[in-house]
Structure 1
Amino acid sequence: MGKIIYVLEDDQGISDIVEMVLESEGYQVSCFPSVSTFNATAFKPPADLYLLDIMLPDGNGLDVREALSNNSNTAASPVLIMSAHTNRSEVSGWPRAQHFIAKPFDINELTEKIASLLTD
Protein backbone atom coordinates (compact mmCIF):
# COMPACT_ATOMS: atom_id res chain seq x y z
CA MET A 1 0.00 0.00 0.00
CA GLY A 2 1.56 3.27 -1.17
CA LYS A 3 1.78 6.55 0.65
CA ILE A 4 -1.30 8.78 0.49
CA ILE A 5 -1.14 12.10 -1.35
CA TYR A 6 -3.99 14.61 -1.42
CA VAL A 7 -4.00 17.04 -4.34
CA LEU A 8 -5.95 20.30 -4.15
CA GLU A 9 -6.10 21.58 -7.75
CA ASP A 10 -9.03 23.18 -9.59
CA ASP A 11 -7.65 22.69 -13.12
CA GLN A 12 -8.99 19.28 -14.16
CA GLY A 13 -6.25 18.72 -16.75
CA ILE A 14 -3.45 19.34 -14.25
CA SER A 15 -5.23 17.28 -11.63
CA ASP A 16 -5.64 14.32 -14.02
CA ILE A 17 -1.97 14.41 -15.08
CA VAL A 18 -0.70 14.70 -11.50
CA GLU A 19 -2.96 11.85 -10.39
CA MET A 20 -1.87 9.59 -13.26
CA VAL A 21 1.85 10.29 -12.74
CA LEU A 22 1.77 9.87 -8.96
CA GLU A 23 -0.27 6.67 -9.16
CA SER A 24 2.26 5.29 -11.64
CA GLU A 25 4.90 6.00 -8.95
CA GLY A 26 2.93 3.82 -6.50
CA TYR A 27 1.20 6.52 -4.47
CA GLN A 28 -2.46 6.52 -3.49
CA VAL A 29 -3.84 9.81 -4.79
CA SER A 30 -7.06 11.68 -4.05
CA CYS A 31 -7.78 14.90 -5.93
CA PHE A 32 -10.02 17.75 -4.81
CA PRO A 33 -11.19 20.60 -7.10
CA SER A 34 -12.05 23.07 -4.32
CA VAL A 35 -11.33 23.96 -0.73
CA SER A 36 -14.85 22.92 0.31
CA THR A 37 -14.50 19.39 -1.12
CA PHE A 38 -11.01 19.13 0.36
CA ASN A 39 -12.20 20.19 3.82
CA ALA A 40 -15.12 17.76 3.68
CA THR A 41 -12.89 14.69 3.30
CA ALA A 42 -9.16 15.39 3.38
CA PHE A 43 -8.60 14.99 7.09
CA LYS A 44 -9.87 11.38 7.19
CA PRO A 45 -7.41 9.69 7.02
CA PRO A 46 -4.60 12.23 7.01
CA ALA A 47 -2.34 12.14 3.96
CA ASP A 48 1.38 11.51 3.97
CA LEU A 49 1.78 14.59 1.74
CA TYR A 50 -0.43 17.46 0.57
CA LEU A 51 0.01 19.08 -2.85
CA LEU A 52 -1.86 22.40 -2.85
CA ASP A 53 -2.54 24.96 -5.55
CA ILE A 54 -2.71 28.55 -4.30
CA MET A 55 -5.48 30.13 -6.35
CA LEU A 56 -8.72 28.16 -6.00
CA PRO A 57 -12.34 28.99 -6.82
CA ASP A 58 -13.45 29.09 -3.19
CA GLY A 59 -10.31 29.82 -1.22
CA ASN A 60 -6.55 29.84 -1.04
CA GLY A 61 -4.08 26.98 -0.75
CA LEU A 62 -2.00 28.96 1.73
CA ASP A 63 -4.99 29.16 4.08
CA VAL A 64 -5.42 25.40 3.71
CA ARG A 65 -1.72 25.00 4.53
CA GLU A 66 -2.23 27.03 7.68
CA ALA A 67 -5.21 24.86 8.71
CA LEU A 68 -3.16 21.70 8.13
CA SER A 69 -0.31 23.01 10.26
CA ASN A 70 -2.73 23.84 13.09
CA ASN A 71 -4.31 20.37 13.11
CA SER A 72 -2.50 17.88 15.33
CA ASN A 73 -3.28 15.02 12.89
CA THR A 74 -1.73 16.80 9.88
CA ALA A 75 0.84 19.21 11.33
CA ALA A 76 3.79 16.90 10.65
CA SER A 77 2.78 16.05 7.07
CA PRO A 78 4.78 17.80 4.35
CA VAL A 79 2.96 20.28 2.11
CA LEU A 80 4.08 21.17 -1.40
CA ILE A 81 2.62 24.44 -2.67
CA MET A 82 2.24 24.91 -6.44
CA SER A 83 1.26 27.96 -8.44
CA ALA A 84 1.49 29.50 -11.89
CA HIS A 85 0.94 32.99 -10.51
CA THR A 86 3.95 33.43 -8.26
CA ASN A 87 7.59 32.44 -8.02
CA ARG A 88 9.92 30.87 -5.48
CA SER A 89 11.29 34.20 -4.22
CA GLU A 90 7.78 35.47 -3.42
CA VAL A 91 6.90 32.25 -1.62
CA SER A 92 10.01 32.34 0.56
CA GLY A 93 8.50 35.16 2.61
CA TRP A 94 5.19 33.38 3.20
CA PRO A 95 4.77 31.60 6.51
CA ARG A 96 5.00 27.82 6.24
CA ALA A 97 5.36 27.74 2.45
CA GLN A 98 8.86 26.31 2.42
CA HIS A 99 8.15 23.69 -0.26
CA PHE A 100 7.13 25.17 -3.62
CA ILE A 101 6.96 24.19 -7.28
CA ALA A 102 6.07 26.60 -10.08
CA LYS A 103 3.56 25.66 -12.77
CA PRO A 104 4.07 24.58 -15.40
CA PHE A 105 6.39 22.07 -13.79
CA ASP A 106 8.52 19.27 -15.09
CA ILE A 107 6.99 15.91 -14.14
CA ASN A 108 10.38 14.54 -13.11
CA GLU A 109 10.99 17.56 -10.87
CA LEU A 110 7.57 17.05 -9.25
CA THR A 111 8.08 13.34 -8.58
CA GLU A 112 11.63 13.90 -7.28
CA LYS A 113 10.47 16.67 -4.95
CA ILE A 114 7.62 14.53 -3.62
CA ALA A 115 9.88 11.51 -3.11
CA SER A 116 12.35 13.72 -1.26
CA LEU A 117 9.66 15.17 1.01
CA LEU A 118 8.33 11.70 1.82
CA THR A 119 11.75 10.33 2.78
CA ASP A 120 12.83 13.25 4.99
Structure 2
Amino acid sequence: MGTSILVVDDDPDILDAVEFTLESEGYIVQTAVDPAKLMPLLGEQHPALLVLDFLMSGVDGASITRQLKAHQATRSMPILMISAHPEAAQVAQECGADGFLAKPFDIDELLETVQQLTIAD
Protein backbone atom coordinates (compact mmCIF):
# COMPACT_ATOMS: atom_id res chain seq x y z
CA MET A 1 0.00 0.00 0.00
CA GLY A 2 1.31 3.47 -0.89
CA THR A 3 2.05 6.35 1.40
CA SER A 4 -0.94 8.63 2.00
CA ILE A 5 -0.65 12.37 1.50
CA LEU A 6 -3.25 15.08 2.13
CA VAL A 7 -2.94 18.23 0.00
CA VAL A 8 -4.82 21.40 1.00
CA ASP A 9 -4.72 24.40 -1.33
CA ASP A 10 -7.47 26.80 -2.40
CA ASP A 11 -6.16 26.78 -6.00
CA PRO A 12 -7.74 23.83 -7.86
CA ASP A 13 -5.04 23.93 -10.55
CA ILE A 14 -2.28 23.49 -7.97
CA LEU A 15 -4.26 20.68 -6.33
CA ASP A 16 -4.69 18.88 -9.64
CA ALA A 17 -1.02 19.22 -10.57
CA VAL A 18 0.28 18.06 -7.19
CA GLU A 19 -2.24 15.20 -7.02
CA PHE A 20 -1.34 13.97 -10.52
CA THR A 21 2.39 14.21 -9.84
CA LEU A 22 2.26 12.38 -6.52
CA GLU A 23 -0.17 9.69 -7.70
CA SER A 24 2.06 8.97 -10.71
CA GLU A 25 4.80 8.15 -8.17
CA GLY A 26 2.56 5.72 -6.28
CA TYR A 27 1.39 7.94 -3.44
CA ILE A 28 -2.24 7.81 -2.27
CA VAL A 29 -3.41 11.42 -2.45
CA GLN A 30 -6.46 13.11 -1.01
CA THR A 31 -7.10 16.78 -1.71
CA ALA A 32 -9.15 19.56 -0.17
CA VAL A 33 -9.73 22.96 -1.73
CA ASP A 34 -11.42 24.24 1.44
CA PRO A 35 -9.14 24.52 4.50
CA ALA A 36 -12.20 24.15 6.75
CA LYS A 37 -12.35 20.47 5.67
CA LEU A 38 -8.84 19.78 6.96
CA MET A 39 -9.67 19.00 10.59
CA PRO A 40 -12.56 16.63 9.78
CA LEU A 41 -10.31 14.81 7.28
CA LEU A 42 -7.54 14.45 9.85
CA GLY A 43 -10.09 13.02 12.28
CA GLU A 44 -10.85 10.26 9.78
CA GLN A 45 -7.33 9.46 8.63
CA HIS A 46 -3.69 9.96 9.49
CA PRO A 47 -1.75 10.86 6.35
CA ALA A 48 2.02 10.39 6.29
CA LEU A 49 2.34 13.98 5.07
CA LEU A 50 0.27 17.16 4.87
CA VAL A 51 1.02 19.52 1.98
CA LEU A 52 -0.44 22.87 2.97
CA ASP A 53 -0.72 26.21 1.20
CA PHE A 54 0.41 29.20 3.25
CA LEU A 55 -2.25 31.68 2.11
CA MET A 56 -5.79 30.44 1.62
CA SER A 57 -9.04 32.36 1.66
CA GLY A 58 -9.93 33.13 5.26
CA VAL A 59 -7.21 30.94 6.81
CA ASP A 60 -3.47 30.90 6.80
CA GLY A 61 -1.31 27.80 6.77
CA ALA A 62 0.84 29.07 9.63
CA SER A 63 -2.14 29.10 12.02
CA ILE A 64 -3.14 25.60 10.92
CA THR A 65 0.44 24.36 11.33
CA ARG A 66 0.72 25.82 14.83
CA GLN A 67 -2.59 24.20 15.77
CA LEU A 68 -1.56 20.79 14.43
CA LYS A 69 1.88 20.90 16.05
CA ALA A 70 0.27 21.78 19.41
CA HIS A 71 -1.88 18.62 19.52
CA GLN A 72 -0.48 15.24 20.51
CA ALA A 73 -2.40 13.34 17.81
CA THR A 74 -1.03 15.44 14.93
CA ARG A 75 2.26 16.75 16.34
CA SER A 76 4.48 14.20 14.59
CA MET A 77 2.78 14.45 11.17
CA PRO A 78 5.19 16.17 8.75
CA ILE A 79 3.86 19.36 7.16
CA LEU A 80 5.18 20.69 3.86
CA MET A 81 4.14 24.30 3.36
CA ILE A 82 3.92 25.71 -0.17
CA SER A 83 3.53 29.35 -1.16
CA ALA A 84 4.40 32.11 -3.59
CA HIS A 85 4.42 34.67 -0.76
CA PRO A 86 7.90 36.21 -0.33
CA GLU A 87 7.94 35.87 3.47
CA ALA A 88 6.37 32.42 3.64
CA ALA A 89 9.63 30.45 3.98
CA GLN A 90 10.53 32.28 7.18
CA VAL A 91 6.98 32.00 8.55
CA ALA A 92 6.89 28.27 7.70
CA GLN A 93 10.02 27.71 9.74
CA GLU A 94 8.76 29.83 12.65
CA CYS A 95 5.41 28.03 12.90
CA GLY A 96 6.95 24.55 12.89
CA ALA A 97 6.46 23.34 9.31
CA ASP A 98 8.82 20.49 8.44
CA GLY A 99 9.53 21.71 4.92
CA PHE A 100 8.83 24.55 2.50
CA LEU A 101 8.60 24.91 -1.28
CA ALA A 102 8.19 28.23 -3.08
CA LYS A 103 5.58 28.35 -5.85
CA PRO A 104 6.07 27.75 -8.67
CA PHE A 105 8.10 24.70 -7.69
CA ASP A 106 9.87 22.17 -9.83
CA ILE A 107 8.23 18.73 -9.99
CA ASP A 108 11.51 16.99 -9.13
CA GLU A 109 11.95 19.30 -6.14
CA LEU A 110 8.43 18.46 -4.95
CA LEU A 111 9.02 14.71 -5.27
CA GLU A 112 12.40 14.89 -3.54
CA THR A 113 11.00 16.91 -0.64
CA VAL A 114 7.97 14.63 -0.26
CA GLN A 115 10.24 11.59 -0.24
CA GLN A 116 12.48 13.12 2.46
CA LEU A 117 9.51 14.00 4.66
CA THR A 118 7.81 10.59 4.32
CA ILE A 119 10.95 8.43 4.59
CA ALA A 120 10.14 7.46 8.18
CA ASP A 121 6.74 6.09 7.12
Matched with 1:55 is: 55
The structure with the largest helix share of the pair is: 2
User: Could you tell me how far 1:88 is from its partner in structure 2?
Assistant: 6.5
Q: 1:95 to 1:38 in 2, by over 3 A?
A: closer
CA separation in 2, counterparts of 1:8 and 1:18?
A: 10
CA separation in 2, counterparts of 1:93 and 1:41?
A: 24
Q: 1:58 to 1:42 in 2, by over 3 A?
A: farther
Q: List runs of 5+ in structure 1 lacking aligned partners.
A: none
TM-score (norm 2): 0.89
Question: What are the equivalent positions in structure 2 for 1:1-120 lying under 5 Å apart?
Answer: 1-87=1-87, 90-91=90-91, 94-120=94-120
CA separation in 1, counterparts of 2:35 and 2:113?
A: 23
What are the Cα deviations for residues 23-66 of structure 1, in whole angstroms up to 9, with x where unaligned? 11111111111221222323321111000001111211111111
Between the aligned residues of both structures, percent identity stands at: 34
Give the SS at the match of 2:73.
coil
Structure 1 outlier segments of 4+, above 3 Å: none
What root-mean-square deviation, in Å, do the aligned CA atoms of Structure 1 and Structure 2 show?
Answer: 1.7
CA separation in 1, counterparts of 2:38 and 2:7?
A: 9
CA separation in 2, counterparts of 1:93 and 1:78?
A: 13
TM-score (norm 1): 0.90
Q: List runs of 5+ in structure 2 lacking aligned partners.
A: none
> Does the aligned pair in 1 maintain the 2:8–2:31 contact within 8 Å?
yes
